[in-house]
Amino acid sequence: MQTKIVQAVEAHREAILASFSDLHAIPEWGFNEFKTAAYLQQRLEKAGINIKKYTETGFTADIVGSEDGPAIGLRGDIDALPYKNEAGETYYVHACGHDSHATMVLWTTLLLKELGLVKKGTFRAIFQPAEECLTGAREMIAAGAAASLDELYGVHIRPIQEARVGQASPALWHSASTVAEVTIHGQAAHGARPHLGTNAIDGAALAILGLNSIWVNPAQQWSVKVTKIIGGGTASNIIPDQAIFTLDMRAASNALMDELVRKVTAACEHGAAAVGGHAEVNIIGGVPAAEYDEEAVSYLRTAIEEIIGSKGLLPPIYTPGGEDFHQFKQADPKLKTAYMALGSDCTPGLHDPKMTFDREAILIGVKILTLAMAKRLGCQ
Amino acid sequence: MQTKIVQAVEAHREAILASFSDLHAIPEWGFNEFKTAAYLQQRLEKAGINIKKYTETGFTADIVGSEDGPAIGLRGDIDALPYKNEAGETYYVHACGHDSHATMVLWTTLLLKELGLVKKGTFRAIFQPAEECLTGAREMIAAGAAASLDELYGVHIRPIQEARVGQASPALWHSASTVAEVTIHGQAAHGARPHLGTNAIDGAALAILGLNSIWVNPAQQWSVKVTKIIGGGTASNIIPDQAIFTLDMRAASNALMDELVRKVTAACEHGAAAVGGHAEVNIIGGVPAAEYDEEAVSYLRTAIEEIIGSKGLLPPIYTPGGEDFHQFKQADPKLKTAYMALGSDCTPGLHDPKMTFDREAILIGVKILTLAMAKRLGCQ
């Protein structure tokens, strides 16, 4: 079957690369992927595959086998990134490779259909908007796009430093990322009578130095950084009664993030209390860390080895980056997930508007994903 | 002569209080004291006194003696304070008593003229706009309104806690006040790669805690407080490359303020440098502390004692408040200054829009100031 899939991909080589070029030419910002979604839907419907819309631009494509079996999902994100040109005008670029992910999931779906590889259970392609907003997965989950799935797989092309073309890892371990907004409450007073007030900016400074002194296990990747602050300012002679700062927190695991949030909260509360104020810590955004299923990872590993050989198989890759893919797992703890890091010789780096990569990676990705899905859906 | 002045003030009692009521009814914000200036000028010109305009609303009134002698100035500020009503509309109130100061300087001038008390030298009344902006004195100085003065006197009514009606001090020691803006420069980086950046907010937090650890001599009144901060905020996942904070500094003397500014600068520079950034400290506003001349103070003291007796004479009063009167001295170091704190039973406090005081204080003030000026200008 591996041979059959490889041959089919090679037969469709030009069409697959054309799909990528078409999608690359219509980069759209999160929740506005109208042309992208229409393009993908048109290709799928033409092949007789049922699509179902869950959000304005998010949809699924299902292929149902004739026998009972697991519900296996494959998720591709479809949004691009915004940039500003020298005139200050916003333009969009597929600088994170989501056009390649959409192409891979599109063609995996088309080939599963064309080759009749869904014997049992259900295959569901999830075309997800707004990954860069870190809110697209949440919208799709809320709309029920992943309901009753047993397994869900994802893929991301990687920078040249992490993986070369012809290499892949079955487990790209994203970090947890949490954005918190901390409000320090003090008491206003005239600048000549500071003893009658509580300086919220002093409380914020103490809180920030407190959280800069936090340790969680340094053997794991983590960080906490203040990235914004606004306080006082009513007049230069008023002791400020409020300061608000934003924290960017990252941690290699969700347990580590929980510990970090607890310690950050303590640092803020006690820093504020040291000057007689108090702190409110609100989590305003973020994504959970990867939590993969060993069995699901092993299915991807087997497919990688069969397509590119054991020399191309990489060990797990750990990245400080976040992915809203992991909200599918967070929303449904029994869901088994795995996520492939696909070598692509991407330079100079993801999110750089000049990002380019070797498109051969797309063909390799389609081969691996089609093989992995086929094996989960009754083909041996 | 003391009797002659007291009798003249009593004879003009109703007219003096009417002047106050007229001025109280036309409160105007700094540099916009058009009605106030016109009112005062009209009264002075009607009495045959020459006025000279130095700014749009700032002017002087001179009375020249027939013999050579010193140039003696008496300065009254004329501006009111802005407030907002519940509808958010701005309105103005003479909540700092500048209407009483203008009345006292007006009537001192009128009486010096009427009673022929300027025998030698020159008397100059300075009607100064925009004291509350702390920029009115500077404008008048720049325009030459205080050029060639030998001595300059000032007056301010005091809150009931400091001095009662019938009490006065010949030396109200204002503090120096300095407003500084500190910019911490860092280096931006992605939130996942904080080690490639320099967090300007961390530098600001270190600088703030550093300046909160400063000591100058605690036997003197001083303080330094951060009253505003803005940093980062481009995005919650960007290490901030800039943070700007405002400092309100006060010190009982100019030497103490110089020491404080040096230590604050060191705290900011080294706090920023501790994380690899650097600090810029810019002085953006403020006023110098009082620096009185003992002889000038003694002239006021004598006049106070002759008018209200030694039981009403108060020792020097020290206040954390600032006054731009002291910029006259700063601009002309040989100028001798003194400044009377005049008891007025003012409640609930200066700058409170509901501020009221006992208008009898105005009559006492006119008596003391007219006597003090007359003695400096040739009358014994």
Residue range B191-214, pLDDT digits in tens:
878 888 999 999 999 999 999 999
Scan for tokens 């063609």, then name that residue: A107
**Smallest Cβ distance to B208: which of A205, A228, A250?**
A205
pLDDT in tens, B359-374: 999 999 999 999 999 9
CATH class of B2-174+290-376: alpha beta
What are the Cα distances from residue A300, in Å, to A126, B50, B108? 18, 97, 96
CATH of domain A176-287: 3.30.70.360
Closest-CA distance of chain B to residue A146, Å: 29
**ipTM field:** 0.70
> Do A236 and B226 make contact, defined as CB atoms within 8 angstroms?
no
CA distance, residue A250 to nearest chain B CA (Å): 7
B237 contacts A191? CB cut-off 8 A? no
> Where in the sequence of chain B do the CATH 3.30.70.360 domains occur?
176-287
Contacts of A192 in chain B (CB under 8 A): 175, 223, 250, 320-321
B219 touches chain A (CB under 8 A): no
Residue A129, pLDDT score: 98
**B201 vs A179, A202, A229: nearest CB:** A229
How many percent of chain A have pLDDT more than 90? Answer: 88
- Asked if A227 and B246 come within 8 Å (Cβ–Cβ), the reply is no
Question: Do A232 and B226 make contact, defined as CB atoms within 8 angstroms?
Answer: yes
The pLDDT, as a whole number, for residue A48 is: 97
Q: C-alpha distances in angstroms, A324 versus A29, A74, A176, A327, B225?
A: 16, 14, 10, 5, 43
pLDDT in tens, A317-369: 999 889 999 999 999 999 999 999 999 999 998 888 899 999 999 999 999 99
Retrieve residue A336's tokens. Answer: 């088994």
Q: Which candidate from B193, B236, B246 shows the least CB-CB separation from A228? A: B236
Nearest by CB: B236 against A179, A194, A230: A179
Pick from B192, B227, B245: CB nearest A321? B192
At B212-267, the pLDDT tens digits run: 999 999 888 899 999 999 999 878 888 999 999 999 999 999 999 999 999 999 99
User: In this structure, are residues B200 and B240 in contact, taking their beta carbons and an 8 Å threshold?
Assistant: yes
The answer, for A244 touching chain B at a CB cutoff of 8 Å, is no
- Chain B contact for A203, CB < 8 A? no
Token reading at B287: 């006023």
Predicted confidence (pLDDT) at residue B305 exceeds the cutoff of 90: yes
A170 strand-pairing partners: none
Pick from B194, B187, B205, B201: nearest CA to A209: B205
The pLDDT tens digits of the residues spanning A14-31 come to 999 999 999 999 999 999
Tens of pLDDT along A201-248?
999 999 999 999 999 998 888 999 999 999 998 788 889 999 999 999
* Cβ atoms A267, A206 nearer than 8 A: no
Best mutation target among A135, A237, A351 (most B Cβ atoms within 10 Å) is A237
For A195, which residue in chain B has the nearest alpha carbon? Answer: B223
Q: Which of B206, B237, B245 sits opposite A227 (nearest CB)?
A: B237
Cβ within 8 Å, pair B236-A223? no
CB atoms within 10 A of CB A98: 28
Classify the phi-psi angles of A116: left when phi > 0, otherwise alpha if psi is within -120 to 50, otherwise beta: left
Say whether B228 and A233 touch across the interface (CB within 8 A): yes
Q: Is B236 on the interface with A (CB under 8 A)?
A: yes
> Which residues in chain B have their CB less than 8 angstroms from residue A246's CB?
232-233, 236
CA B250 from centre of chain: 14
Contact criterion met (CB < 8 Å) for A228 and B201: yes
pLDDT at B273: 95
Q: What is the mean pLDDT of residues B73-81?
A: 97
Residues of chain A with CATH 3.40.630.10: 2-175+290-376
Residues of chain B with CATH 3.40.630.10: 2-174+290-376
Query: B190 falls in which pLDDT band (50, 70, 90)?
Result: confident
Task: A214-218: list long-range contacts, CB under 8 Å, 24+ apart.
Answer: A214/A260, A214/A263, A214/A264, A214/A267, A216/A251, A216/A256, A216/A259, A216/A260, A216/A263, A217/A256
Domain spanning A2-175+290-376, CATH architecture: 3-Layer(aba) Sandwich (3.40)
